[in-house]
């Protein structure tokens, strides 16, 4: 099966610009998670979709971040306007069963975002 794919792999933007990250989970996976890792620190939870619904968005830092998962398939994470502290690696992960949160997460390779 195809794994979780993320696009782009790298993005360099200037402060104030907009960036949209995309994640395609493994087909059939209901759970989709977004995480962010700032260099050397923990992988910080951002939010969790179950199909198209936001199950938990308690980790979203502020209203500059908008995540969507239309139709319960791929997801996008938009940062608008970007700030310097938004730099980091954004990971997407998916797992199979709705309501079953102990299935292993399958991670994409991440998008490295640099805001200058």
Partner 1 sequence: AQSVAQPEDQVNVAEGNPLTVKCTYSVSGNPYLFWYVQYPNRGLQFLLKYITGDNLVKGSYGFEAEFNKSQTSFHLKKPSALVSDSALYFCAVRGTSASKIIFGSGTRLSIRP
Provide the minimum distance between the beta carbon of 85 and partner 1 in the complex, in angstroms, as a whole number.
17
Query: Any idea which residue has 């949209």 for tokens?
Result: 20
Can you tell me the distance from the alpha carbon of 25 to that of 107, in angstroms, rounded to the nearest whole number?
9
Can you tell me the distance from the alpha carbon of 56 to that of 61, in angstroms, rounded to the nearest whole number?
13
| Pick 10 or 15: Cβ nearer partner 1 | 10
Can you tell me the distance from the alpha carbon of 44 to that of 59, in angstroms, rounded to the nearest whole number?
8
Provide the minimum distance between the beta carbon of 30 and partner 1 in the complex, in angstroms, as a whole number.
11
| Pick 72 or 81: Cβ nearer partner 1 | 72
Provide the minimum distance between the beta carbon of 45 and partner 1 in the complex, in angstroms, as a whole number.
5
Can you tell me the distance from the alpha carbon of 18 to that of 85, in angstroms, rounded to the nearest whole number?
14
Torsion of CA 100, 102, 106, 111, to 10 degrees: 90
Q: Which residues bind partner 1 (CB under 8 A)?
A: 3-4, 33, 35, 40-45, 48, 50, 55-56, 58-59, 91, 93, 101-102, 104-110
Provide the minimum distance between the beta carbon of 43 and partner 1 in the complex, in angstroms, as a whole number.
4
| Pick 44 or 64: Cβ nearer partner 1 | 44
| Pick 86 or 110: Cβ nearer partner 1 | 110
Can you tell me the distance from the alpha carbon of 7 to that of 22, in angstroms, rounded to the nearest whole number?
5
């Amino acid at each position: 099966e195809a794994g979780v794919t993320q696009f782009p792999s790298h993005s360099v933007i200037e402060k104030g610009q907009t960036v949209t990250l995309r994640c395609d989970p493994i087909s059939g996976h209901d759970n989709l998670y977004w995480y962010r890792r700032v260099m050397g620190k923990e992988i910080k939870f951002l939010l969790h979709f179950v199909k198209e619904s936001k199950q938990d968005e308690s980790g979203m830092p502020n209203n500059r971040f908008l995540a969507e998962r239309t139709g319960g398939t791929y997801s996008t994470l938009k940062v608008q306007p970007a700030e310097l502290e938004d730099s980091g690696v954004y990971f997407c992960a998916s797992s199979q069963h709705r309501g079953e949160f102990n299935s292993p997460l399958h991670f994409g390779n991440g998008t490295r975002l640099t805001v200058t």
